[in-house]
């Protein structure tokens, strides 16, 4: 049921509403009428003399008939208000040479803010923070933002900016006292955004970042403060802030383990906009968001988000985590550099949660195996692994509801993977969800990640043409084939001039090693679908040497295998690889291909695929290109004596494969699985 009173908001620009009916800045019948109403609201029920109104509205440019003009504007405002309340005359009263807007007829957000701050000043310490945060929630923007130039609006805006800064700094201090460093940082950032030259906001921000263990971010914030103060030629920084910076710097110097780099969680106002920009992932985002939200209600999942480099795994996880409210979130990016440190990845994720929690990790001594800083100067024997894992279970239960996200899980240390498996299989952990992002091409059958038993898998592939339609770029899908990484390059301000798809593909191919890079360089110049024997002939190698490497490149998702022939997984990858070749390499390859001749009548001959069948085809052509690549028996690429008859027998005995009629998409899905 709608309130009988009007609601008047001046934070973020004027808005007058009752129920679903609303008047905005452009709905008052003109700027002067709107200013008249705003001045009456700021008077807080007190009569506003007509001459004072005229002076504030027109200044020295008074109209000829001031009173008549004011009466006209009052009539306009009353008529506009009548569209909401039915009768606007009673809202604006006429006094002797004055007008008034009695406060009994409306509720004002500025008054609500003032009342909450007053209640915070009078409240007990335990309730004070809640009042302050409620007040900050009311202040949704700058006061009278639709009046940027009027002196009276500027004065009122400045007055409330000071009050918001004071409130935010006090709320940050109280949050730190309650060990809620994340909220403390949010309030400090609010204070800095409102008044970038107020040192108190930076002081509160440094304390919060220090509590979160983000020392490097704290130092960067201090440097930003110094730059702003110097640029504005403002009062030099206090000795207290300088000393805090020195303290953080000393701790940073001995901080050996990397800290978690969690993507910033934007304000609630930007959540939906961020999600809307997640093109083509609505279904995956809904599934992941429901799983994360279910954590708050006691749900428990082990989720793996899978896809190749640049496909959007991290973006998807970040978008889903933005929707979380009332759930602890820990995020860590695994790294090959620390993959030898036991429990490094899961410890990084947990540190962030512990920084905002009242749980004291020292209550679980066996966790010194997970958090090595607990063993500094300790003479106790190292705990048993099973005791550490049981303590880890107890810790996450104490932190619940909790979501832990480990990015690049393929690089996680072995102990972290053991811990994930233990947590997921130990028993139902209410309110604890574990999520990981990984690249399947980096996972071998014996990798510990392959032994995890997830309750949910979310595979990510390229986007469809329809997914890119909202961007309004006609040839975007043709240029990118829907790969999110290439889409982002195409949408970059420089149009991909700084970093092109060819650069990305070439870098990835070089990362596969010298042999693989040279094979791919030659393959991109061949026909779209080629056999191992065809590529081997061009390079003067044996198929025995080429086929295993091609099989590996299929697993690495650079090539695919269809009907016994290899091909690049995407047209764009093949073209980008060709674009990356130097003119000299291209000319040499074209010479070798032309000398070898076009593919013979057996070039499209179906093979069983894989190294075993490829080993049966050892036909080569002589040549010196890539002389350092492996050759059979060192004989310039020719099969060893005595092998020819055996080869003939094996090929003749091999059963001829049947064509299944499966589509390329079906074959590709089968290979991916």
Maximum average pLDDT range among 26-30, 399-403, 441-445: 399-403
pLDDT in the model for residue 259? 37
**281: three-class secondary structure by DSSP:** coil
279-293, 410-424, 583-597, 652-666: which range is least confident on average? 652-666
First and final CA of the chain: distance in angstroms? Answer: 55
pLDDT in the model for residue 4? 62
**82: three-class secondary structure by DSSP:** helix
pLDDT in the model for residue 68? 92
DSSP string for residues in 261-272: -PPP---HHHHH
Q: What is the mean pLDDT of residues 103-109?
A: 88
Token pair listed for 181:
């460093």
Q: What is the tally of helices (H) and strands (E) in the chain?
A: 28, 14
**329: three-class secondary structure by DSSP:** strand
Answer whether 0.75 is exceeded by the pTM: no
For residue 341, with 0-12 CB atoms within 10 Å meaning exposed, 13-18 middle and 19 or more buried, which class applies?
A: middle
pLDDT in the model for residue 255? 37
Residue 618 has pLDDT above 70, yes or no: no
Q: What is the mean pLDDT of residues 348-355?
A: 88
Query: What beta strand segments (E) does 481-538 contain?
Result: none
Q: What is the mean pLDDT of residues 522-547?
A: 90
**116: three-class secondary structure by DSSP:** helix
Percentage of the chain lying above the pLDDT 90 cut: 36
Residue 73 has pLDDT above 80, yes or no: yes
DSSP annotation of 356 reads T
pLDDT per position as a tens digit, 355-376? 888 888 888 999 999 988 887 6
Q: Give residue 244's pLDDT band: very low, low, confident or very high (50, 70, 90).
A: confident
Residue 646 has pLDDT above 70, yes or no: no
336-345, 453-462, 490-499: which range is least confident on average? 490-499
DSSP annotation of 444 reads -
Q: Give residue 628's pLDDT band: very low, low, confident or very high (50, 70, 90).
A: very low
Buried b (16+ CB within 10 A) or exposed e, 28-63: bbeebbbbbbbbbbbbebebbebeebbebbeeeeee
Percentage of the chain lying above the pLDDT 70 cut: 81
pLDDT in the model for residue 292? 92
Q: What is the mean pLDDT of residues 640-645?
A: 41
In angstroms, what is the C-alpha Rg of the chain?
34
552, 642 in Cβ contact below 8 A? no
pLDDT per position as a tens digit, 191-214? 999 999 899 999 999 999 988 888
Query: What beta strand segments (E) does 175-232 contain?
Result: none
């Amino acid at each position: 049921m709608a309130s009988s009173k009007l609601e008047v908001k001046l934070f973020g620009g004027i808005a007058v509403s009752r129920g679903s009916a609303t008047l905005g800045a452009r709905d008052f019948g003109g700027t002067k009428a709107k200013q008249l109403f705003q001045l009456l609201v700021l008077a807080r029920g007190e009569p506003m003399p007509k001459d004072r109104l005229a002076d504030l509205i027109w200044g020295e440019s008074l109209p000829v008939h001031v009173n008549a003009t004011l009466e006209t504007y009052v009539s306009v405002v009353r008529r506009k208000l009548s569209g909401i309340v039915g009768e606007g005359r009673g809202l604006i009263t006429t006094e002797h040479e004055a007008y008034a807007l009695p406060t009994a007829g409306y509720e004002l957000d500025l008054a609500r803010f003032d009342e909450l701050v007053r209640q915070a000043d009078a409240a007990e310490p335990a309730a004070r923070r809640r009042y302050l945060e409620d007040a900050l929630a009311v202040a949704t923007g700058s006061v009278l933002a639709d009046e940027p130039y009027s002196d009276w609006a500027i004065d009122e805006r400045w007055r409330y900016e000071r009050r918001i800064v004071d409130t935010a700094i006090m709320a940050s201090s109280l949050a730190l006292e309650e060990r809620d460093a994340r909220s403390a940082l949010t309030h400090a950032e609010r204070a800095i955004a409102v008044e970038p030259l107020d040192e108190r906001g930076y002081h509160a921000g440094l304390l919060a970042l220090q509590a979160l263990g983000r020392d490097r971010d704290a130092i960067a914030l201090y440097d930003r403060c110094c730059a702003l103060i110097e640029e504005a030629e403002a009062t030099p920084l206090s000795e207290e802030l300088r000393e805090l910076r020195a303290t953080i710097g000393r701790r940073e110097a001995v901080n050996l383990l990397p800290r978690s780099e969690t993507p910033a969680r934007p304000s609630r106002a930007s959540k939906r906009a961020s999600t809307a920009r997640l093109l083509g992932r609505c279904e995956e985002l809904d599934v992941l968001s429901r799983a994360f939200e279910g954590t708050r209600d006691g749900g428990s999942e082990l989720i793996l988000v899978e896809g190749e480099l640049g496909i959007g795994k991290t973006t998807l996880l970040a978008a889903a985590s933005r929707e979380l409210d009332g759930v602890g979130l820990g995020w860590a990016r695994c790294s090959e550099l620390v993959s030898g440190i036991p429990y490094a990845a899961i410890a990084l994720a947990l540190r962030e949660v512990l920084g905002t929690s009242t749980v004291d990790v020292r209550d679980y001594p066996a966790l010194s195996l997970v958090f090595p800083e607990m063993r500094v100067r300790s003479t106790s024997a190292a705990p048993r692994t099973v005791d550490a894992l049981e303590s880890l279970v107890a810790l996450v239960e104490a932190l619940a509801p909790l979501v832990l996200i480990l990015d690049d899980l393929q690089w996680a240390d072995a102990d972290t993977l053991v811990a994930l498996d233990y947590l997921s299989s130990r028993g139902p952990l209410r309110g604890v969800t574990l999520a990981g992002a990984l690249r399947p091409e980096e996972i071998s059958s014996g990798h510990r990640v392959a032994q995890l038993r997830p309750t949910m898998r979310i595979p990510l592939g390229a986007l469809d043409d329809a997914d890119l339609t909202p961007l309004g770029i006609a040839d975007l899908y043709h240029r990118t084939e829907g790969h999110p990484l290439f889409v982002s390059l195409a949408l970059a301000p420089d149009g991909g001039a700084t970093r092109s798809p060819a650069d990305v593909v070439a870098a990835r191919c070089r990362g596969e090693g010298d042999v693989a890079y040279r094979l791919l360089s030659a393959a991109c110049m061949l026909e779209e679908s080629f056999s191992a024997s065809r590529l081997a002939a061009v390079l003067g190698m044996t198929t025995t040497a080429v086929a295993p490497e091609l099989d590996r490149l299929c697993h690495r998702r650079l090539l695919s295998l269809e009907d016994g022939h290899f091909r690049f997984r995407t047209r764009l990858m093949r073209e980008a690889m060709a674009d990356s070749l130097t003119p000299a390499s291209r000319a040499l390859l074209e010479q070798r291909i032309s000398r070898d001749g076009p593919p013979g009548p057996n070039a499209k001959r179906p093979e069983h695929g894989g190294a075993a069948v490829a080993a049966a085809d050892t036909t080569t052509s002589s040549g010196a290109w890539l002389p350092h690549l492996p050759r059979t028996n060192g004989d310039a690429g020719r099969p060893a004596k005595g092998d020819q008859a055996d080869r003939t027998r094996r090929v003749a005995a091999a059963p001829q494969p049947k064509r299944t009629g499966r589509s390329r998409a079906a074959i590709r899905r089968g290979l991916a699985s």
